[in-house]
Structure 1
Amino acid sequence: MESVLRRMSTNEALREAKRELRALIARKLDTVDPRSVQEQSRIVFKLLSQLPQYQQARRISVYLSMPTGEIDTVPIVEDAFKQGKQVFIPFTHKAVPATSSDEEPKPSIMDMVSLHSLEDYQGLKRNSWGIPTPTKRSLDTRKNCIEEVKAGEHGLDLIVVPGVAFDGACRRLGHGKGYYDYFFKRYHEAAGGKLPFTVGVALQEQMIDTPTGVPVGDKDWPMDMILVGNDTSISRE
């Protein structure tokens, strides 16, 4: 009983630390000039396009950015199609019931589904967050990367990952829904312990340089690399 209470206390402390950091970053992002976001996005795209992992990747996942407050990924999507890459984007939907007692129930989960073309991307409607999103009706025509991996087909080579905050140890804080961390877990299991190269992209205002860094738990996945809008790249040692 004591160990259960200790674990509950630790988990609540972690959740509170994450909530406080999200609030801090939100206040910082409120003051960022949109022109700075665009310039930092240009720099991050330049860094990404120079990476051998990106140049060699044939199948990549790219988040589609919100109108404000994060690195704009439009140039990445456009370049990926120009380079002949297959592009996958997030799609969030209601989860099926948990299959085991130790699996945490989730009201919704995220998959990565394919885009057919640049025109397909440009025709997507924006959701309530302002994010271009495919319709449920179109899913039957789109590839699902985890289903492909389960079938023994080639998976993703690289994933461009958003976040609320990052630190110098390539730790990441998300928005609190656990979408990416749970996606990494599912992909890792489906691929027999493998995971694509993960690249977090960040505005310089999203980087944390405190001694403790980003608060993380055992379900939080680190990035292989972080690209920052101040022309900095950080690799996980």
Structure 2
Amino acid sequence: MSTNETLRNAKRELRAAVAKRLDALDAESVREQSQAVLALLTSLPEYRQARRVSIYLSMPTGEIDTTAMVQDALERGKRVFIPFTHKAMPAPTQGEDQKPSIMDMVSLESLEDYQGLKRNNWGIPTPTKKSLETRENCIDEVKAGKAGLDLIVMPGVAFDGECRRLGHGKGYYDYFLRRYSEEADGKVPFTVGVALKDQFLDPPASVPVGDKDWSLDTIIVGDGKVIRR
């Protein structure tokens, strides 16, 4: 078995193990942990100082609820960006890294804008393609020499004490960060992973990673832990 196959299998097994834990989690625990994560996030100096932030919009179950984070950021006058996933345009020279679909970060205009978003098949509030005509795209802004993102709040399936993150397997965030870095002369936003305690691996357990997986700057866990890289 190749190294890549071994890594894929290890990630698949960990996703399945965490999914079993999350299936047993009740809504009240998610609510309480989401409140705890919000309080810790808003205490971070990097968050307080950030003017342009990206926040993922959460699924109905199985992860930290970010509704209150979006509201807090907007109330503080921050410029908020949210994920939008779409089919990738073919690159002039396609390599093995070419993705069939990619994720961009587009602007959220107001709380009313957020509340008006329709949910996709995963139950995630998602902007329409039509609305993209009037939304900023942060990578386009960086390409034009304008401000990018200061901080990005990221979801995941599993996290560990070395600030490693396991996603859902599509590579959206890792690829987004690489694209961003290429356009921003190697700079990337401050990355914050937010985790339910059921998604955090206590030592000696760890997240299996490859050379294309990005580590985070900080992880905030629903039981009150804050881990910095």
Which TM-score tier does this pair reach, normalised by the shorter chain?
A: over 0.9
Give the conservation status (yes or no) of the 8 Å contact 1:98–1:104. no
CA offset digits 1:65-93 (Å, max 9, x no partner):
00000000001000001000000000000
Q: Distance in 2 between matches of 1:96 and 1:13?
A: 31
**Which residue in 2 is equivalent to 1:99?**
92
CA contact (8 A) 1:91 1:111 kept: yes
Query: Aligned pairs, how many?
Result: 229
Give the whole-Å Cα distance in 2 for the aligned partners of 1:12 and 1:192: 32
One-letter amino acid of the counterpart of residue 9, structure 2: E
| TM-score, structure 1 normalization | 0.95
Alignment equivalent of 1:216, drawn from 190, 198, 209: 209
Q: In the alignment, does 2:154 pair up with 1:165?
A: no
**2:111 aligned residue:** 118
Provide the TM-score with structure 2 as the length reference: 0.98
* Residue-by-residue CA offset, 1:78-109 (whole Å, 9 max, x unaligned): 00010000000000000111333545221100
Matched-pair contact (CA < 8 Å) for 2:160–2:205: no
Counterparts of 1:65-80 in structure 2 under 5 Å? 65-80=58-73
Give the CA RMSD over aligned residues: 1.0
> One-letter code of the match for 2:106?
V
CA distance in 1 between counterparts of 2:91 and 2:202 reads 37
Looking at structure 2, the residues matched to 169 and 75 of structure 1 have their Cα atoms a distance apart, in angstroms, of 27
1:234 is matched with 227
Segments of 5+ residues of structure 2 without an aligned counterpart are none
Q: Distance in 2 between matches of 1:160 and 1:32?
A: 22
The 5-angstrom pairing of residues 132-147 of structure 1 reads 132-147=125-140
Identify unmatched segments of 5+ residues in structure 1: 1-7
SS of equivalent residue, structure 2 residue 2: helix
Q: Distance in 2 between matches of 1:103 and 1:96?
A: 15
2:55 maps to 1:62: yes
